Structure 1
Amino acid sequence: MTNAFFLAALVLELFPSKRADVNTWYYIGLVLALEVIYILNLLLKKDNEKLQTVGDVIAIVYGILIVWEIFTTKTDLADRFLFPSPSNVPALLISELPELLKGTLSSFQLLFAGYLLALALAIPLALVIGWKKRLYKAVNPLTKVLGPIPPIVYIPYAIAILPTFKAASIFIIFIGAFWPVFINTLNGVFNVDKRIIDSAKALNVNEGAMLFQVILPATLPSIISGATIGLVMSFILLTAAEMIGATSGLGWYVKYFSDFADYPRVIVGIIFIGFVVTGVTFLFDKLERCLLRWRK
């Protein structure tokens, strides 16, 4: 099926274009690059299920490109002001890459400051509260009230109260990441298998060792789950915060060019953000597998 979509994407270029300002070689190069990725997976991967998944994903991308090419370059049915052709986007992405990389660096500085601060506070706090049954029963109802509040509602107050936009952004990201990590860790600690705790107590393990050498490893799957949700929330809030008051970053890039109705660059920014988020979550997934390899 993947090869059929590949051929359809190439055959489409035999038909005349309605847009004269399009260099279709970028489209052809994009299609060929996808096919190279597919062939490399055929050669390197031995897991048939993973091969099928990769093939299906690439086939879907081919389908999107074909529909996009038909409605823009080939028929010009889509408004060219709002919808650039698939060939224009890679060309623009290459020319805008320095600015996008600069924005990525700026965004990451905010993202990791808020995210790492949330991890550093949420994990030890949840370990202690989850371990103390009375504290857990007091705090758990509060998490059900405060946790579901959308962090984005804090943005106007954070910008108004905190001295700089950078501080406001870090605070919003911190709030967005804190609650998923805290709640998952809290519940993970409270639900640790009692047999593990009883075995540790039988060995006269002190409270510090109990928390960080027994409870923490047992809670690690819950911590990773919360950290994953927190990371996704951090990206969403980062982009939203940058759109409101930043002077740099990926969210600012999209907002800036949308204000000037430069929609080709808006689409480039959106696609690039997708690549960045995918790359970060891929690395995080690798880290998760490394930390939880004992579960396999």
Structure 2
Amino acid sequence: MVGWLPLLLIGIVWYITTDVFQWLDPFLFPGPTAVLSIIGEDYPFLFTSLLSSLTLLFVSFGCAIVTAIPLGLLVGQSKRIERLIHPFTNLASPIPPIVYIPYAVALLPTFWLASSFILYIGAFWPVFLNTVNGVKQIDHRLLDSAHTLGISRKDWYAKILLPGAMPSIFSGMTIGLVLSFILLTAAEIVGGSSGLGWYVKNYSDFGDYPRVVSGILFIGLVVAGLTQIMRRTERYVLRWRER
């Protein structure tokens, strides 16, 4: 309950400075009454925009998870492979994915594919790097015991490396998900024809700031919801740690 206190205070200040005393320009800073009314009015349109955004997000994020986790497990358990690709990861991982937009637009035939590629890059590196670090943090005594017992290659990855690295993997997935959503919104603002980012950009072009603020607030709620879902999933999957 205490965690909601800052949001409650912000809402009260917003209401007082706009709806009550109108200290702020109502054209640029609509009050919560108008914004909530518009969210209720535009909810079908916002929901359609949300579906468009989430479809693109989940496809790209899913592809990143499917490729980054196996590669991270492979690299993390082999010092030879890690030394081999270390220079590349040091060079490529810090590059902001958004700088690839010119080539993505030039080489890929549609906005959807270009956006998917940018989102994939944004999600891949946090998941991959956290998977590698998670494998490296597994207790070496556990790894030595598994080797001594002659565990199969399949069980080595599925029952030793993956569960051991899972806490770190979830951290990377949370970072990758939030970063991907930021990139998604930016891409929709720049060149999209649907989605939540496009919703905000479209109404800002018409100077409809109540709907702009409504879109921003709705995006914030969506990101908070996705983050909460990720945290609950992490607690469920890693419930064995509490035992």
- Calculate the TM-score normalised by the size of structure 1: 0.79
Which residue of structure 2 aligns with residue 3 of structure 1?
none
Is 1:156 aligned to 2:102, yes or no? Answer: yes
Once the two structures are superposed, what CA deviation does each residue of 1:170-220 show, in whole Å capped at 9, x if it has no partner? Answer: 111100000000011112223321111110111111223212221111111
- Once residues 140 and 212 of structure 1 are traced to their aligned partners in structure 2, the CA distance between those partners, rounded to angstroms, is 25
Deviation, 1:90, is 1.1
Q: What displacement does 1:229 show? A: 0.7
Identity across the alignment (%): 51
Q: Which moved more, 1:262-271 or 1:208-217?
A: 208-217
- Structure having greater relative contact order (Cα 8 Å, sep ≥ 6): 2
Which region of structure 1 is more displaced relative to structure 2, 138-147 or 214-223? 138-147
Of residues 160, 167, 170, the one that matches 1:221 is 167
CA distance in 2, matches of 1:184, 1:100: 34
User: Is 2:17 the counterpart of 1:92?
Assistant: no
Alignment of 1:188-267 (within 5 A): 188-267=134-213
1:29-49 deviation line (CA, Å, top 9, x unaligned): xxxxxxxxxxxxxxxxxxxxx
Report the residue type matching 2:22 in the other structure: D
CA distance in 2, matches of 1:205, 1:61: 51
Question: Hey, what does 2:20 align to over in structure 1?
Answer: 74
Which region of structure 1 is more displaced relative to structure 2, 231-240 or 77-86? 77-86
Please state if 1:293 is matched with 2:236. no
1:122 to 2:76 alignment: no
Separation in structure 2 between the aligned mates of residue 129 and residue 173 of structure 1, nearest angstrom: 23
CA distance in 2, matches of 1:289, 1:243: 34
Q: How many Å separate the matches in 2 of 1:134 and 1:55?
A: 48
1:64 maps onto 2:28 in alignment: no
Partner residue in 1 for 2:91:
145
Match of 1:108 in 2: 54
Deviations 1:147-170 (A, max 9, x none): 111111112221222100000111
Distance (whole Å) between structure 1 residues aligned to residue 35 and residue 94 of structure 2: 38
3-state SS of the aligned residue for 2:22?
coil
Separation in structure 1 between the aligned mates of residue 2 and residue 144 of structure 2, nearest angstrom: 49
Q: 3-state SS of the aligned residue for 2:42?
A: helix
Deviation at 1:68, TM superposition (A): 2.0
What are structure 2's unaligned runs of at least 5 residues?
Answer: none
Any idea what the Cα deviations from partners look like across 1:239-261, whole Å, max 9, x if unmatched?
01111111100011011111111
1:94/1:216 CA distance change after superposition, 3 Å: same
Q: Provide closer, same or farther for how the CA distance between residues 78 and 216 of structure 1 changes in structure 2, counting only shifts above 3 A.
A: same
Counterpart of 1:183 in structure 2 is 129
Task: Tell me the TM-score normalized by structure 2.
Answer: 0.95
Alignment CA distance shift 1:130-1:63 (3 Å) = closer
Give the unaligned 5+ runs of structure 1: 1-53
The Cα of 1:65 is off from its aligned counterpart by: 2.8
The ranges of structure 1 where at least 4 consecutive aligned residues each deviate by more than 3 angstroms after the TM superposition are none
**C-alpha offsets along residues 34-67 of structure 1, whole Å, 9 cap, x if unaligned?**
xxxxxxxxxxxxxxxxxxxx1452x433322332
Offset at residue 87 of structure 1 (A): 1.1
Distance 1:226 1:61 in 2: 26
Structure 2 residue matching 1:204: 3-state secondary structure:
coil
Q: Number of paired residues?
A: 242
